[in-house]
Amino acid sequence: MTTSNNTSPATDHLPNNAYIHEEKSAAETLAPMALKERFRKFLPVVVDVETAGFNAHTDALLEIACIPILLNEYGIFYPGEALNAHIEPFEGANLEPSALAFTGIDPNNPMRKAIAEDEKIALRRIFKGLKEVRKEEDCRQCVLIGHNAHFDLNFLNAAVLRTNSKNHNPFHQFSVFDTVTLSALAFGQTVLARACKAAGLDFDGNDAHSALYDTQKTAELFCHILNHYPMLPNALQVATSSTDITDTDSSQQ
């Protein structure tokens, strides 16, 4: 894992020819559309955090990884380029021993300390990268995808507040797409490793609980589900009026 955003390029995540053929068959019932049209101008971004506990306001954020979800010319979803960071615990942060034992992260490890970034610097670097993708896709906001997504969103929002980064934050404040729910619907599974295996995706338990690996696996799972479960026939064709549903109604965003 690295703290830079120079991970595998987006093209490394593109399906091979056999995969394209299989996924294209699953998606060809839908007319190709731009990514901005698929999620009401939201850019889906898979996020995973590793933390030193369960309390977003008192426990340290130690790792974060983000992967935007993109759509190719065949109408197939695929993971984009990852942005990730090892993060220095904020001043006064709680480091719960049981949480560190679970993740295997040692904040005082000299090798980790050599690559860890200040929380504000790391977040703003990642936010800048995501905003560039959002603009390229002509989307108005990012929406967080996660496995138990509100856990990740709570830590992200707390870090945004701590670092005074509200104006830099590209994410919707409360809306999420949760792969726990999607996996339960698609496979009857709620555990990430089991859902990935049900989808035919590799999952190495030895690499789990690293933010980058869990984000990559969640992104693959999210794309697999979208690519294999076409939208219902009346999707995106529901007529709306300003008196019924509006984009300014926060409860509907």
Residue type, 184: A
Helix (H) or strand (E) holding 198: helix 192-198
| Stated length of the chain | 253
Quote the CA–CA distance of 83 and 212 in Å, as a whole number.
8
Quote the CA–CA distance of 106 and 93 in Å, as a whole number.
14
Quote the CA–CA distance of 247 and 40 in Å, as a whole number.
9
Closest CA to 107 of 51, 37, 156, 190: 51
Closest CA to 80 of 68, 97, 88: 68
Token output for 139: 């989307």
- Residue 59's alpha-carbon distances to 50, 159, 166, 196, in angstroms, are 11, 10, 20, 29
The answer to whether 112 and 106 are in contact (CB under 8 A) is: yes
> HSE-up of 37 (CA within 13 Å, CB side)?
10
The helix/strand/coil state of 42 is: strand
Helix (H) or strand (E) holding 72: none
| Catalytic member of 150, 168, 172, 209 | 209
Judge whether 209 counts as a catalytic residue. Answer: yes
Which residues are known to be catalytic? Answer: 209
